[in-house]
Amino acid sequence: MAEREYQKVIDAIRSKLERGELKAGDRLPTERGFAAELSIGRNSAREALRTLGNMGIVRSRQGSGNYLSADPSENMAETLDMLLLMHSLTVRDIHDFRFRQELTVCEMILENSAPDLDGLKKLLDGETEADGDAKIELDRAFHYELIRLAGNRMLVLLMNGILPVYRRWIDHALGNASPDDRQRLHQCHLAVYTGLARRDRDMVTAAIKTHYGLMDKLLTD
């Protein structure tokens, strides 16, 4: 019985979304409100909201209530951390996924008839002058900008979920990279940008392979 009551809350939220009565960012009824509306116990309502919170679908704001969230990336990162600790995933798995994801992202940008690459150019200009933590931040921004240019929300969601975990290794590797290795990475970024601007698929692919090959070496070291 308790399990059926618990499901009533999830079904009610789903129905409200389908009817357009709820959208991302909206405040949800309280536990008491769900209990009264659905004729269930408050414990069942509380458990349903807690489970949706663990999924990243519901966000609790202290003193304000529960809200629908469209960004479960924080929970995704926590899940990846647990899978790594359980050895169900490895750094290599995530690194290889990011490599394949970036190839796909650039392919999608190339399919765009007129991508706006000004953001990439500004980041590249900044990389030539930056050093230390600023250079690491610009590296992060460059890869986020590629995702943004692809124009696919699923890729953004995956990126936001993976990056907090992956960037810990990348930031450490970049922090310990030699000036020559940092310059090589910058040249890879420049080649990606140039290839996209020229619509040269082979140039873009070669640059991404070189970039991730170098990052693989830095991560291994």
- 150-209 pLDDT, tens digit per residue, is 999 888 888 888 888 888 888 888 888 998 999 999 999 999 999 999 999 999 999 999
Number of structural domains in the chain:
2
Task: State whether 35 and 116 are in the same domain.
Answer: no
User: CA distances (Å), 74 to each of 29, 196, 216, in order?
Assistant: 23, 31, 25
Give the domain range for residue 212: 74-220
Task: State whether 24 and 87 are in the same domain.
Answer: no
Give 66's strand partners.
Answer: 60
Looking at 68, 95, 124, the residue that finishes a domain is 68
**How many CA atoms lie less than 13 Å away from 97 in the CB half-sphere?**
15
Checking if the pLDDT of 218 tops 70, the result is yes
pLDDT-wise least confident of 15-19, 53-57, 147-151: 53-57
Task: State whether 87 and 42 are in the same domain.
Answer: no
Of the chain, the percentage scoring pLDDT greater than 90 comes to: 52
* Helix ranges (DSSP H) in 55-200: 73-85, 91-111, 118-129, 132-150, 153-176, 179-198
User: CA distances (Å), 116 to each of 60, 131, 197, in order?
Assistant: 37, 26, 9
Task: State whether 50 and 159 are in the same domain.
Answer: no
Q: Work out the pLDDT band at 2, boundaries 50, 70, 90.
A: very low
